[in-house]
Amino acid sequence: MERITVARIGKTHGVKGYVKVNSFSGSYDHFGDIEEGTLVFRHGKEISVRIEEVVPFGDRVLLKFVGYDSPEAARTLTGGELWVDKKHAAPLGKDEYYIADLKGCSVFFGDRDCGSVIGVAETGQADLLEIKTPDRGFRYLPLKDEYVGGVDTKAGRIELKVDWILE
């Protein structure tokens, strides 16, 4: 099973153990299809969870996990990232891709291989692709239209519009 992170668990809501959810895609429609997943915390702890109920909450949703029936119990889940089978991720539109799928892609300027993506840093301005270059070590590439042309995650290829960005 290939997993992907779809959300971060927020604060509790109400007295029955519901939690607010912050979807990484901005979409919440697909949460109704998720039955189980894993919560992964910054300190490395992982908890397998089953979703008992998904409740619309404005333009978002609340989740109720099996066995977490009070605000005190549900509060222990706050901050965890919900990892699920990739088939439950938000559907992609034309020319869209999951950030996780960029890792391992090769970066090209024309026919020249400029390196490969080894990580992605999500920042406020633009996501930064961490590129391992063949001869210059590591560089960061802003994932912005002025620098990046086509992205084909199926072929594992990212096209650069300019090559100086990796100098």
Query: Domain range for residue 121?
Result: 99-166
The rounded percent of the chain whose pLDDT value lies above 90 is 55
Q: Tens of pLDDT along 44-93?
A: 899 999 999 999 999 999 999 999 999 999 999 999 999 998 887 777 77
The domain that holds 82 is classified in CATH as: 2.40.30.60
- Indicate if 111 and 70 belong to the same structural domain: no
How confident is residue 97, by pLDDT bands cut at 50, 70 and 90? confident
Residue 93 lies in a domain: no
- Indicate if 79 and 107 belong to the same structural domain: no
pTM of the model: 0.70
H/E run at residue 46: strand 46-57
How many domains does one find in the chain? 2
Q: Which of 69, 88, 107 is the last residue of a domain?
A: 88
Q: Which residue do the tokens 């999951």 mark?
A: 98
Structure token pair of residue 108: 């090209």
Structure token pair of residue 9: 């668990």
- Indicate if 64 and 111 belong to the same structural domain: no
Using DSSP's 3-state secondary structure scheme, residue 4 falls into: strand
Question: Backbone phi, then psi, for 102, in 5-degree steps?
Answer: -75, -25
Q: What are the strands of the beta sheet with 137-142, ordered from one edge?
A: 137-142, 128-133, 112-121, 106-109, 157-160, 148-152
Q: Tens of pLDDT along 111-129?
A: 999 999 998 887 777 888 9
